[in-house]
Amino acid sequence: RFRGKGYQEGFTEGGHLGETEGRRYGLANGAKIGSEVSFYKGFAFTWKCLLQKNQDAQKNSKRLKVLNTLLEMVQRFPYEDPTYDKLQEDLEKMRAKFKQICSLLNVQPACQNATAAGMSF
Amino acid sequence: MRRRLAFELRFQAHPDSRAWNVAWSSSGTLLASCGGDRAVRIWAREGASWQCKCLLEDGHQRTVRKVSWSPCGNYLASVSFDATTCIWRKKEDGFELLTTLEGHENEVKSVAWAPSGSLLATCSRDKSVWVWEVDEEDDYECVSVLNAHTQDVKHVIWHPNGELLASGSYDNSIKLYKEEDDDWVCVSTLEGHESTVWSIAFDKTGERLVSCSDDKTVKIWKAYRPGNEQGVVCSGSDLSWKCVCTLSGFHTRPIYDISWCHMTDAIATACGDDAVRIFEEDPGSDPHQPTFSLTAHIPKAHTQDVNCVAWNPKQAGLLASCSDDGDITIWRYEFED
């Protein structure tokens, strides 16, 4: 009987600790992903504006197409749903698209996050 | 009639370093090799020996891991641990460095030119596969970055019809990619190997694929279409690949390379136990459960790990191998008399 009670108390205690840790982890990760995705959004918008001003139509049409694809991916990303089963997969696809556009534009980006976890590309 | 793998010639290709890869030009007359000495060498037969016709150095800052010829024979792509891909153009008196492609984050492990000549694939320890397109003005553009693998990608190879790309990885899987709406996507994952897939090769029809692994086995995979009689499940209109044969117990160490001859259908393997082995499908074997036999085995083909085997595309039975010992060996697979 005491063993059962001990188990119950331990389970509850563990649950509380787990919830706190989970919340902290979720906040940190959510912030990381949020800032990464919004970096792509800002990056893509900026380059889109720059290219649209440029007259070199043929080369730019390819680049604009890829930039638009990246923007679509950002748009479609489900910000409200952390349980979305393809979250990591879509994020990887976005990262791959970003790498492709960097190669096409011939830019080497460096993005430093304000938080301790910095991203490098 | 029995076969044998006869030794023809051995020469030092990359002094004091490893010879990582050898590749025949599509005409079969030139052999390119690359190695730990950061150089690419082009070899041609002269009488009874092979001479180094060109030395391509100053292209890479680190080991050159693989080389691939364009189908037209006028270009050579080399990839290196320095994370770059060099494109060399053949001229009358040698090769010139046309351009250097950057983008991978670390060591590039493999490169393959598509049969059309307008696409190039590279893969890297950064877990990605890149597809590049080249236009008539020799401009290279990245058309896709594929992050499908979860670990180091060791090998890329194109399907003989050029519409499918295959990659093998440290994550033990083989992935197949197809072009869909202007972008490349992963359409299939072949699982079964218990360790790193080091190399992949297609047979001349493209209906079958062979893979070799760190798990010391060779697997033969067969493509099934939707509506096939064997009841192999296919999704949509895509091909489904099923492992129809596993060759185990033949190799005592990891198998680093495999090559399927498009002229004789023989399969050659390069192994960490310093040996080169040849396998052939048994006559009359069931296409859905084929059996293969070991038809030739050279236990000490080299003095160290054999890194690569390559069948000559025009001369049936001519095989080149290279090793950590820095040598290239030329073999002739023939009938015993």
Question: What's the pLDDT at A107?
Answer: 87
Q: What is the pLDDT of residues A80-109, one digit of tens each?
A: 887 888 888 899 999 999 999 999 988 876
**How many domains does the structure of chain B reveal?**
1
**Structural domain that includes position A48:** 2-105
- Residue B198's pLDDT band, with cuts at 50, 70 and 90, is very high
Q: Is the pLDDT of residue A121 over 70?
A: no
Q: How distant is the alpha carbon of residue B161 from its chain centre?
A: 16
What was the pLDDT predicted at B120? Answer: 97
Residues of A in contact with B103 (CB under 8 A): 99, 102-103
**Rounded average pLDDT over B31-49:** 95
Contact A102/B at CB under 8 A: yes
Question: Residues 77..96 of A with a Cβ closer than 8 Å to B: which?
Answer: 92-93, 95-96
Question: CA of B185 to nearest chain A CA: how many angstroms apart?
Answer: 10
Helix axes of A87-105 and A2-53: crossing angle, nearest 10 degrees:
30
Query: Could you report the per-residue pLDDT of B276-323, keeping only the tens digit for each?
Result: 999 999 999 999 999 999 999 999 999 999 999 999 999 999 999 999
CATH code for the domain in which residue B119 is found: 2.130.10.10
pTM for the whole thing?
A: 0.91
Residue A115 lies in a domain: no
Distance CA B225, CA B283 (A): 24
- In this complex, the residue of B103, B182, B183 whose CB is nearest that of residue A103 is B103
Q: Which residues of B touch A92 (CB under 8 A)?
A: 147
Per-residue pLDDT, B317: 95
Residues of B in contact with A104 (CB under 8 A): 141-142
Helix (H, G, I), strand (E, B) or coil at B281: strand
Domain count, chain A: 1
Q: Indicate whether A113 belongs to any domain.
A: no
**Hey, are the CB atoms on A95 and B146 less than 8 Å from each other?**
no
Of B217, B222, B191, the closest CA to residue B279 belongs to B217
CA distance B102 to chain A (A): 8
Q: Which residues of B touch A102 (CB under 8 A)?
A: 103
Give tens-digit pLDDT for B216-248: 999 999 999 988 888 888 887 788 999 999 999
Collapsing DSSP to helix, strand or coil, A2 comes out as helix
Asked if B151 contacts B170 with a C-beta cutoff of 8 angstroms, the reply is yes
Q: Which long-range contacts (CB under 8 A, 24 or more apart) does B14-17 make?
A: B14/B39, B14/B41, B14/B326, B15/B326, B16/B326, B17/B63, B17/B326
DSSP B10-77: EEESSTTS-EEEEEE-TTSSEEEEEETTS-EEEEEEETTEEEEEEEE-SS-SS-EEEEEE-TTSSEEE
In this structure, the number of other CB atoms found within 10 A of the CB of residue B123 comes to 29
pLDDT over 60 (residue A117): no
What is the pLDDT averaged over residues B144-152? 95
State whether residue A72 sits within 8 Å of chain B by CB: no
pLDDT score for B186 = 94
Domain annotation covers residue A121: no
> Chain B partners of A69 at a C-beta cutoff of 8 Å?
183
- Name the CA radius of gyration of chain A, rounded: 21
In terms of CA atoms, which chain A residue is nearest residue B150? A92
For range A36-43, the mean pLDDT: 93
Which residues form the domain of B72? 3-335
Smallest Cβ–Cβ distance between A103 and the set B142, B182, B183 belongs to B142
Residue A31 resides in a domain:
yes
Interface pTM (ipTM) of the complex?
A: 0.83
Q: Kindly state the percentage of chain A with pLDDT values over 90.
A: 54
Determine, for residues A96 and B146 on separate chains, whether the beta-carbon distance falls below 8 Å: yes
